[in-house]
Each structure stands twice: as structure tokens, then as C-alpha cells.
Amino acid sequence: MSDTRLFRPRMWTAAGSALLLAGVAACSDQGAEAPAQPAAPPASAAGEGEGEGGEAGAASAYGAVPAESLLALRLQHLKGFFLVAQAASPVEGEASAAALAGQGMLEVYDPAKADYDAAGVDEDVLRRAAESGSAGALNAAITELDRAARQAGGNAADVVTGLLNVSTGLYALVVTDDGVDPIEWQHSYGAALAAQQVAARDGALRPAREDIDAFVANWPSVTAPTDPGEATAPGELQAQASRIELSLSGL
């Protein structure tokens, strides 16, 4: 990434990881007591951004999805990180791709590990992708999440709605008075890509595909623009998502 941006990519420190993992341990203990219940979405599950904006976006996205589709949403949300890593690899290199996949593991997988274990996800496949960022490893991780998603079931329209809410919740942190945040740009893009793939594979969602493709087109590149004027305004993106969600509700 260009160092001329007003934001710098986050570096995960050992101390920061330890604090997050301490919270994860508490969530895991609760999950062990009631394994049949989907884990409540932690603040970090979809809102990687600092502050209430990201957390509120995540809570809203997961809270609006029926229980029977929550696991499918978790799987697709995580898949979005691997999809955007896949897109970043030829542009920014394998190290950038590995970092994106690693952020997905830290922020989405780890806080809800019990859910992914229950879905039968092979953690080793995901970790290899997060370590190497290679095309083969990323493809294997995406294939593994697709396999688990087929078994998880869920309603495709609900999952797409959840992913759109994740994407717009994160995008609210992208364009600010201070400039463009390149990390949230990629994370929100990943959720949009995941929504697009869910819609593309479900025949019932065919009427909404064109609008979803147009939504994804708001990210013309995996690398964020340096000029905020070149990015879609958050309100405009939210309006697009709302129109898609309305159309999905009738399918």
C-alpha cells in the first residue's frame, strides 16, 4: 500500500492480541456451557474498526438475522476476508493477502471459534492461508468454507442481507473527515464480495443479482483511493443496500 495515505494499516501487537484473546476465552467458556446455541456476535465479529461505529454495524448485522441463518452468515463473513485477500494478492502481494486473511482469523474466527468447530471447519486449512497468503492456500480456505456453508444451510436472502449490513457498517468508517481508511475499505469490500457470491449461487436471488453487482462495483479496486472524493459516500452506499434488502424481502 502507498505510504501517502492518511491512514496507516493497523499492526497487531502482542499486547493487543493478548487483550482480545482474553475476551475470546470468556466467550469460549460460555459457548462450552451451551454448545447448541449460536455464539452471540462479539463486537469484533464484524466491526473491526475502532469505536462504536464498527461495533454497532456488527451488532445490527447479526442481530437482524434469524437464528437458523447465523452460522451461514458467520461462515460467509469469514469467507469475505479470504476473498478480498485473494483479490489483493496479485495487486499488493502475498504478504498483504496473508495479513488480510490473518485479520479475518483474529477478528471473526477466533471470537466465535466454537461455532466454526461445530460447522466442521478445518482450522488448519484456514491458518495455512493466513500464514502464506499464497493463491493455492487461499483457494483451499475458500473451498473449505464453501463446503461448511453447504452443510450449514440457512436462508440465502437473510445471509446476503446480513453481509450487506456488515459491509455498510464497516464502510461507515472508510470515508471520514480525515481521509480514506484503506483497511476498512478492504474489509467492507470482502463482505460485499461474499454477498455477491451467495447471490450468484442461489437461483431464488436471481432478481437481485444486478443490484448486488452494482453494489460491489462501489469498490473498483481492492486498494482504497487516497482521495475521499473518489469513494462512494457512505450514505449513498447505505441507500443502495437498503434497496437491495427491500427487494430481498420479497423473494
Each residue's pLDDT tens digit, 23-61: 333 333 333 333 333 333 433 333 343 332 233 456 679
Q: Which of 95, 94, 142, 99 is nearest to 122 (CA)?
A: 142
Q: Which amino acid is at 23?
A: G
Rg (CA), the chain: 17
Determine the Cα–Cα distance for residues 23 and 54; give it in Å rounded to an integer: 17
pLDDT digits (tens, 9 = 90+) for 60-92: 799 889 999 999 999 999 999 999 999 999 999
User: Apex CA 159: angle with CA 95 and CA 22, to 5°?
Assistant: 55
Predicted confidence at residue 59, as pLDDT, reads 60
* Helix or strand (DSSP H, E) at 176: strand 175-176
**3-state class (DSSP) for residue 59:** helix
Provide the 10 A C-beta neighbour count for residue 235. Answer: 11
pLDDT digits (tens, 9 = 90+) for 216-236: 999 999 999 999 999 999 999
Predicted confidence at residue 171, as pLDDT, reads 95
Higher model confidence: residue 142 or residue 45? 142
DSSP state of 190: H
Determine the Cα–Cα distance for residues 79 and 101; give it in Å rounded to an integer: 9
Predicted confidence at residue 9, as pLDDT, reads 34
Provide the 10 A C-beta neighbour count for residue 27. Answer: 19
Q: Which of 84, 94, 80 is nearest to 128 (CA)?
A: 94
Helix axes 156-171, 234-249, angle to 10 degrees: 170
Determine the Cα–Cα distance for residues 60 and 58; give it in Å rounded to an integer: 5
Predicted confidence at residue 13, as pLDDT, reads 30
